[in-house]
Amino acid sequence: MEQFFDTYFDFSLMAEYFGQVLEGFWWTIKLSVLGGILALTWGLILAVLRQLPGRAMAPVRFLTIAYIDALRGIPMLLTLLLIYGGLGTLQASGTIPKWIGVPEFFGYPSAFWYGIMALTLTYGAYMAEVYRAGIEAVPRGQMEASRSLGMSHGQAMRFVIVPQAVRKVIPPLLNDFIALMKDTSLISVISMPEVVQVGNDIYSTTCNPSALTLGALLFLIVTIPLARLVDWQIKKQDEKFQRGIP
């Protein structure tokens, strides 16, 4: 047992490298927050596009469904590597400008923005399905009543349907955000110095994985409160339904 704790819970090593691990975790937080916001926005756009009515909008609906199915079916790691390799190659050949192929906005490295792209594209597809479930859970009469009041389809979606749908799907969206945060660790494969990459570098130097344990504890400090928030949201919704409140 002593050997186990010396291997995984070497507190002197954790204290020595705490600053480096915390700096890596700060990159993880940045990736999670910005990637989460963009994925939520992109997912809502996809969900609304999928609900466009009429035969004229059929191609848009088809392309949206194809995109969602494709991005949900491809591992995010593969999407990340395709973005990382593809954009760099296209920029080197002069096909796309440098600011797209090797983005370095606000002084952040290109690996950061490749990661943001992969998180947005992948989790936007997942969140689109969550939004769709919420939109379809809104009674059809809400749309009919909105149209009878003179609203266009877009106005009804914006002011009536989508606000109700979002309230219904907050718990699963939070679950997706937790998953997104954990998947930021995949960005370490393109040398992004997030918490897993930093912990692994320290492990390579010290031959002790305690820095990785410290990174895991930092993840738990954030994800466990989020998980409890999901439970609270679910309980709150259940109480509303029991009282008959829509």
Q: Where along the chain do its domains lie? A: 2-242
**DSSP H/E element including 165:** helix 162-168
Cα–Cα distance measured from residue 163 to residue 122, given in angstroms and rounded to the nearest whole number:
23
Cα–Cα distance measured from residue 207 to residue 203, given in angstroms and rounded to the nearest whole number:
5
Which residue type does 31 have? L
Closest C-alpha to 131, from 223, 39, 246, 235: 39
pLDDT tens per residue, range 181-235? 999 999 999 988 899 999 999 999 998 899 999 999 999 999 999 889 888 887 8
Q: What tokens were used for 75?
A: 């591992």
Q: What tokens were used for 20?
A: 């480096």
For 2-242, CATH number? 1.10.3720.10
CB 20 within 8 A of CB 198: yes
pLDDT tens per residue, range 68-103? 999 999 999 999 999 999 998 888 888 888 888 889
Q: Is the pTM of this model over 0.95?
A: no
Would you mind telling me the total number of residues written for the chain in this entry?
246
